[in-house]
């Protein structure tokens, strides 16, 4: 049985961990991954440098934890169950586009820095791979569900439909539309939805 003291220590450790992760995320976004030092994170979180290493294992560990926490939160929301429950292919695409739009709104600033740093750091590439694998799994489930509903255009395989979803809904498309083109996120999502319905859905189905 946990004692009162051990419970307080666990609570303090959780609060400290969250402060460190929050500081790391903010600094990664503001300064970039390479220009953020562990000392900066410790200062922002108001903890000692060894505490940062103990909580996250340095910058690469903190980044990996941030991404894994985001992935777990998304999966805990039951996205795969929601995909499987959809019976309207157009509504399914709307749900997936809205979902990726929401996630990009929350994670886009960090993912810009991760994408920029990945070519120069193997640990960052691994963390980016975790995020990509989670998104691609959801898109593959979407393509499979569209196939089960008989909604894919003739000649489209599940694998190709997954690739199309990835092309339109990966971070790269959102970066291009919002950063390079200056489109608002909502306009970007609506255009992506319209492109996907035209590209994937067999209008003669049903």
**Span 15-63, pLDDT tens digits:** 999 999 999 999 999 999 999 999 999 999 999 999 999 988 889 999 9
Taking Cα atoms as reference points, which of 127, 203, 131, 126 lies closest to residue 171?
A: 131
pLDDT digits (tens, 9 = 90+) for 113-144: 999 999 999 999 999 999 999 999 999 999 99
Torsion of CA 168, 169, 170, 172, to 10 degrees: 60
Taking alpha carbons only, the member of 185, 130, 197 closest to residue 161 is 197
Mean pLDDT (the chain) is 92
d(CA 168, CA 171): 9
Place 4 in a pLDDT band, splitting at 50, 70 and 90.
low
Q: How confident is the model at residue 13 (pLDDT cuts 50, 70, 90)?
A: confident
The Cα–Cα gap between 157 and 45 comes to 49
Q: Rounded mean pLDDT of 95-109?
A: 94
Give the Cα separation of 154 and 160 in Å (integer).
12
């Amino acid at each position: 049985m946990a004692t009162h003291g051990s419970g307080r220590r666990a609570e303090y450790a959780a609060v400290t961990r969250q402060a460190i992760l929050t500081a790391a995320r903010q600094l990664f976004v503001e300064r970039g991954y390479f220009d953020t030092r562990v000392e900066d994170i410790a200062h922002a979180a108001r903890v000692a440098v060894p505490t940062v290493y103990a909580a996250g294992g340095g910058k690469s560990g903190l980044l990996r934890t941030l991404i894994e926490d985001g992935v777990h939160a998304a999966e805990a929301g039951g996205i795969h169950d929601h995909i499987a429950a959809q019976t309207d292919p157009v509504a399914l695409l709307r749900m997936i586009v809205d979902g990726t739009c929401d996630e990009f709104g929350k994670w886009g600033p960090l993912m810009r820095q991760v994408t920029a740093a990945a070519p120069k750091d193997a640990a960052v590439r691994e963390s980016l791979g975790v995020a990509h694998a989670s998104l691609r799994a959801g898109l593959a489930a979407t393509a499979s569900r569209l196939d089960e509903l008989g909604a894919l255009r003739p000649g489209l395989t599940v694998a190709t439909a997954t690739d199309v979803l990835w092309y339109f809904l990966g971070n790269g498309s959102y970066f291009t539309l919002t950063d390079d083109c200056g489109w608002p996120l909502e306009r970007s999502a609506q255009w992506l939805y319209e492109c996907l319905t035209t590209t994937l859905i067999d209008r003669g189905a049903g």
